[in-house]
Every structure is written in structure tokens, then in C-alpha cells.
Chain A
Amino acid sequence: MASTSSSGLTFKLHPLVIVNISDHYTRVKSQSQSPAAVEGGGDGETSTPHLPSPPRVFGCVIGVQRGRTVEIFNSFELLYDPITHSLDRPFLEKKQELYKKVFPNFYILGWYSTGSDAQESDMVIHKALMDINESPVYVLLNPSVNPAQKDLPVTIYESELHVIDGTPQLIFGQASYTIETVEAERISVDHVAHLKPSDGGSAATQLAAHLTGIHSAIKMLNSRIRVLHHYLLAMQKGDIPCENSLLRQVSSLLRRLPAIESQKFQDDFLMEYNDTLLISYLAMFTNCSSTMNELVDKFNIAYDRHSRRGGRTAFI
């Protein structure tokens, strides 16, 4: 059912939308599970907890469409009526009015839901929204946690009219998207990503966490630079055709470093570097001396017949 769409629209998704959807889903899931947990505890005889299938949440996404670019800024929740398989229309319109007052530029661009894949029943909701927006988008969030997965579990679907078996039908097509952030969003996402351990952590764990973050950042930077370097080398050898726009971008990047280049900076920088190295050296020395001290004590106890011991000595 899902194929890549060919509409040529570029989609930009803001992190706020993803956070909203996941928050909605988590809230609903935790609220619906708590009575089940209480029952299980009182029973005492249930062998395995009966996990209900994960609930689906629904909502609307709003944003701006400029030419061929569709930018999804925000989202809000909607009530879903499982009997009529449709969204609560009056509620949607009321919300739309309220949001229009605060964000006059934003239009309803489409709707969102959670699940692992787009389903047939989604097309019904999709068609229902088509009177507000002639080509709505469908944002799908996959709430199952997959630690092996590296990408975001968010897919954007568009509806396309295809002729299948003689009848024109609307089917969903996957569209690619990029993440676009406003400064405030970047800060908050960064903050959430670097949650400190709940007990506050000792200085050592905080330092370790900080250094690990720096280490992974440097590793990523290193690998990306290596990719660029490889690419430039291949271009130089002639394996790949020269792409001038890319070359211009690389050259502008290189011109941005180094920030300072003077003898005084070099001297100060190296001096500080040496200071840090000396401090680590001192720390290792202390560590080694402490191990050595323990070793010597143990050796003296084990092998030296008349070693001096603090306190009462053996009466032989």
C-alpha cells in the first residue's frame, strides 16, 4: 500500500509535532493501563498480564504551505469515534478556530496517528479531511521502541490518485521529509537528550557522561570529515564528476576555520594542553603509587617474618 510518492513536494517537520504525538500516545497509554494493573494486583492469580493492544491516538497537524514546501509546525489532539470511524468534526472546527486566532498563518495540513503501518481504515479519515485541505498529509508515528533502529519512527504519507484495475483509487505514498528546528526547539531537544541521572550522580559519573558526550560528538565529526575527504580525493582522481556547488560549500566550510591563527594563541594553547596532560599524568602517578603501596603492604604481611605491625604483635 505504501510506496514512495511522486508529488514533488518537500516536507519539513518540526520536533514539536513529534514530541506532541508521542506525549499524546504515552498519556493515553498510561491512563488506560492503570486500572488493568490494579485489577491484576488484586487478583493474585493471573499468570501473565493481559496487555491490551496499544491504543491509537489521532490528531491534526497544522502548518504553512509555501509553493512546493510544506512545513508542519504544530499539532493538536482530536477525538476519534470508533463506531463511525471518523474524527469528531465539530470539535475539530472549534479547535481550528482557536488556533487560527493565535497563529493566523497556520492552516490544517493533515492529520496524525500512531501505529506500525498505514491501514485501509485510515483512508476513510483521510478522505474526510479532504474538504478542509484538498491534499492532506498523514503523519504516522510508530510507538514501538526498537533499539536497533537509527532513524526516527515517523513516516509522512501523501494520497495519490492511481488507476488500479481500471478504477481510479487513492492510495498512500510515502514522502521524504527533513527536520526543521527553531532555536527554542533545538535547545529543548538537546536538553531532553542529555537528561542527567535521577540521583544527581557523583561528580565522577557526571564527568564521565559529559566526556562520553564529547567523545561521541568528536567521533561523529571525525567520520563525517573522513567521508568528505574521501569524496574530495575521489573527485580529484576523477572517479566522480566534479560538482562545483559542493566544492564551493566545502571551501566555505574550510574558510571558516581556524578562528584564530597567531603565535600567541599557539603558545597559550599548547601550554594549556601540556597543563592538562601533566594533571592526568599526576593523577595516574597517584593511582600507581596507591596500588604499589597496597602491594607492598600485602607482600610484607605475607613474606616478611618480622614485619612491624601497628598494634598488638603476635605472641610466639
Chain B
Amino acid sequence: MNLNMNSVESLVAQIQGLSGNIAELNQLRTYLKHSDDLLRAESPRLAPVLNELDPSVHSLGYLYILDACTSALVPKEQAKEFVLHIARFINVCAVEQIRLAPEKFISVCKRFKEHVLLLEDPIRGVAPLLTALRKLQMSSEQLTTLHPEFLLLCLLSKCYKTGLSILEDDIFEVDQPRDLFLYCYYGGLICIGQKQFRKALELLHNVVTAPMSIISAIAVEAYKKHILVSLIHLGQFSTGLPKYTSSAAQRNLKNFSQPYLELVNCYTTGNISDLEACVQSNKEKFETDNNLGLVKQVVSSLYKRNIQRLTQTYLTLSLQDIADSVHLNGPKEAEMHVLQMIQEGDIYATINQKDGMVRFLEDPEQYNSCEMIEHIDSSIQRIMMLSKKLTGMNEMMSCDPAYLGKAGRERQRFDFDDFDTVPTKFNI
């Protein structure tokens, strides 16, 4: 026992000594890796050791000791203490040092999340995890394992706006595929909560079309929500999946979401009563999937769709007629609906209150202002950047041995008079 404590002391001395520059840090890291088992054996007694180290200077050593401390199951009181320690550590740690041991950092943060959930106070974890995320990312285009954890905490603590700030970044690099699935799914949920249906649709679409060799439960849930959000936002849903979807998804997803596809069929008819009947019949299934709230939004969006369809036929219409054709209860309700749609920008119209007539107008955007120039210009810049990235990826793909192997095999099936100077078989 004493011998072990002595080694721990010497370890602490090493950490304090070797936290100077990058060469020393590499040395320290190898040393710490060797001492990992020792640390784990000593985990109950390591808590006071933390006080001897300064987290901002000795971040790497502190990280290893923290990891060893929290690896054992902790009772609730100690959890509070650890939460404080870890939060403080995340706020002051040195970025270069923790990037030397990313897996340890991720596991410490995961345990932090678990403790916070244990204490039933998820909001305490939101800010520290945001800092941790930013410190771990190499660039704002990288997705780390901490992203979905952070979004989960945001969802549980209802801090949707903080979550949205992370979702603004475009992701181009992913460490683990599972991270992407969870990140996009949680992100979709947050956007639905904030009523940003366009972004939610995009994120859920990413989950459904992401490459997967076998179908995953996350994808199935995302597909169900995708159907509902698509109905709310676009007013339609196409059952065909784009060609970049994995074949596993294309074949199996539909089997798991039968009630939702029935809902789609009822929606397209445009009949409110049919839709409500459909909802009633599948109510339990929607409830078990926690989607009943969304389904109710789908029903209310059908009114909007029908009113929008009226704009394509009529130039002016009385409120009474609107109420009749859309099966609303009266002109007052119709006025409320139309007003809300004008406010949200779904429709361009003026209501004449004297005779209860609604005039449908065209989109007043004339495209003759300087703000529009700036808007289009920024879009062009974004798409130029995207185009560069795409060409880069295309070139990388062309050099990929997996692709070259299969492309070579394909060539043998061409006609014999299709003479190619390129070799017909790639032996890689």
C-alpha cells in the first residue's frame, strides 16, 4: 500500500516537473500511459492528489488522475464534488495538452455528463460541455464525440438556443459514424423544438441517408420524424429516397414506419376529417414513439396547405368562403389563420375588414435592392467554398483503392469494340 502511495507521489512529482514544453509533454504522456493501471488501482485515494496539481498548467497529468478517480462508481455526494472539479478543469485546462490524450478527455466528459444526470440537474452540464467541445475541436468543421453528449444535455435541460448555436457550424469531418447519427438526430429534435423546420428536415435527412451497412434504430426513429416534419414544412413527402442513401436503408426503412406512410396518404388527399380519422386509428403507435405532438402539428398544418392551395385559384375570396372550403368553424377562425400565415410569411395577402374579403398578392420582392445583392453575393461565396470542397473530395474518391478496384472490374463488361487504352483490370 505504502509503496503504491510512494509511486503516486513520484508520479505527481513527474507531472509537475514535465509540464513545460511539447517535448516534455510527450515524454510525460508515455510515462502516464505506463502508469495507467497503477492509477486505476489507487482510484479511491487519488482525490486529495488533485489538490496538489494546477489544472491549467498540469492539464495532462490532471486529466489522467481525474480519469482514474472517476472510473470507479461514485456515490451521490462524491458525484457533486467531482462535477465541480471537472467543470473547473474544463474551464481552465490547456488546449494543447488535452489534445494529446483526446480519448481520456472524452471519457472524463462522458462521466461528467452521467454525474450531472445522476444529480438530475442537466443544466449544470451545458456550459462546461460547450467549452469542452470547443477545446477539443481541431476546427469548427470537425464533429467530436462530445457533440451529441452536449446536444443531449441541451435537450434534457431545454436550453435549445445554446444547442442551436452549435448546429450553425457546417460539419465536414467526422470521427465516429455513431456520433454523426446521434448528433443529427438530437440536432433535429432541437430544431423542431425551436420550430426551425427547415434545418430539422436537413438534419433528419442526413441521418436517414448516412452510409450504413445495417439499419440502425436511430435511423428508423429519424425516418419517422422526417416524414412528419416534411409534412409540416413542405406539405408533401416523397417516399423515394435519394440515390446516395445506403441500400440497407432503402430496403428496410419503410417496413418500420407503416402508420406514418398511411398518414402521408391521408394528408395528400387534403381532407381534414380523413386525416383526423387516420390519426385516431394509429394513436397508440404515435404515442409510443413520442410523436403525438408532432402529429397534432401535422393536422394543423393541413389547414395552412389548403389555404395556400386557394391562393393558386382565387385572387380574392371572402372569409366565409375560406372557412367553408377549408372546413374551419367560421370566418373568425379563418381570419385568425390567414393573419398568422401572413405574419409567418407563408402567404402574401391583405384582409379587408369592412366586407370580409381577402386579396391574395404576389411576392413583393422586386430584387432591386442593395441588400439583395449582398445576400446573393454571400450565397455565391458559400457555394464557391462548397464547390472547392466537393472537387477535393471527388479527387480523393477517384484515388481511393476501394473505388479503383471495383471500377476496374466493371470495365470488363463493356463491348469488345469499346477499345480502351486503360488497363481493364486493376489488381490492387
Q: Which residues of A contact B (CB under 8 A)?
A: 266-268, 270-271, 273-275, 277-278, 280-281, 284-285, 287-288, 291-292, 294-296, 298-309, 311-312, 314
Contacts and interface: CB of A to CB of B under 8 A. Distances in A.
A266 B385 CA distance: 31
Main secondary structure of the interface of B (DSSP, over half): helix
B394 A270 contact: no
Contacts of A273: 373
Which residue of A266, A271, A287, A303 has the most chain B CB atoms within 10 A of its CB atom?
Answer: A303
A292 B387 CA distance: 9
B320 interface: no
A311 B369 CA distance: 52
Q: Which residue of A274, A294, A296 has the most chain B CB atoms within 10 A of its CB atom? A: A274
Interface string B383-412: 110110011011001101011001101100
Interface size on B, as a range, is 35 or more
A277 B383 CA distance: 13
B422 interface: no
Nearest to A292: B390
B368 A274 contact: yes
Contacts, number: 88
B195 to A, nearest CB: 28
A311 B413 contact: yes
A273 B372 CA distance: 10
B41 interface: no
A302 B377 CA distance: 36
Interface string B359-384: 00000001111101100110110011
A287 B380 CA distance: 12
A280 B410 CA distance: 37
Given A288-B386, A292-B390, A299-B397, A274 B211 contact: no
Nearest to A294: B394
A277 B368 CA distance: 12
Contact of B400 (A267, A292, A302, A314): A302
Given A275-B367, A277-B377, A294-B394, A284 B407 contact: no
B376 A274 contact: yes
B259 to A, nearest CB: 28
B406 A274 contact: no
B387 to A, nearest CB: 5
A294 B2 CA distance: 66
B219 to A, nearest CB: 15
A281 B376 contact: yes
